[in-house]
Amino acid sequence: MPASPWPFLDHPGPLAFAHQGGGAERPENTMAAFEHAVSLGYRYLETDVHTTADGVLVAFHDDDLDRMTDHSGRIEDLPWSVVRRARVVDGHPVPRLDDLLGAWPEVRINVDPKHDAAIAPLAEVLRRTGATSRVAVGSFSDRRLVRLARAVGPGLCRSLGPVGVTRLWAAARGVPSGRIPAACAQVPVVRRGLTVTDARLVEEAHRRGLQVHVWTVDDPGEMQRLLDLGVDGLMTGRPTVLKEVLEARGDWH
């Protein structure tokens, strides 16, 4: 595991991330899910953020409330006063990112801002809470990641976007790719039928000083295989299972 100058990544590896708090074990992106993961000893959580009509960042995956809650409507069109009344399974409210940052000051949070509207509010939250050093951002938009880095400053830990991952994948196969600026590569095992995470990609990332975190891995056999490849972190919806795998390997920290 490459040594990292980023405080977010400064922890004995492999890093264990509870994806959406561990959505296969508790309702995803709820304080109950995050609390469950923290109670297991997780120091890394992953969540998505959307922005309400009045600029409040909420930890929620979907664009709208329809699938997961007893309310409906696009989050970007609703004020926080409405979103806060929505209830997920078993009556859990939709948390704000502020709630998550404040509940466990020692925990590090990987954030996926789902739309450009989240850029300014996320930069403001990080400045106001002083949480920049314990937050990393990842996104399916390279442009969004660049804009966030500009808004927050050089202290923001960010992963590669899709273009960066493509360049890293190509470099692992001998294609000249130049500098790839990021702290880590957060990647799937397979994307659109193409194997992304293999020994060549891990080796090339490490050669460039990048950690490799793989999402979303829920099968214990696949966890073992990827850890044997030398990946630096796993994101899982089954935090209990990943903890058991890492404990058995002597890698739970």
- Specify burial of residue 159 (Cβ count, 10 A radius: 0-12, 13-18, 19+): buried
Bridging pattern class, strands 135-137 and 157-158? parallel
For the stretch 197-214, what's the b/e string if a residue is b when 16 or more beta carbons lie within 10 angstroms of its beta carbon? Answer: beeebbebbbebebbbbb
Q: C-alpha distances in angstroms, 123 versus 59, 129, 250?
A: 15, 10, 37
Angle subtended at Cα 101 by Cα 96 and Cα 106, rounded to the nearest 5 degrees: 160
Strand partners, 215: 188
Q: Out of 61, 71, 115, 206, which one is annotated catalytic?
A: 61
What dihedral do alpha carbons 117, 123, 124, 126 form, nearest 10°?
Answer: 130
Residue 90 DSSP one-character state = G
* Catalytic annotation present for 19: yes
* Catalytic annotation present for 71: no
Catalytic residues: 19, 61
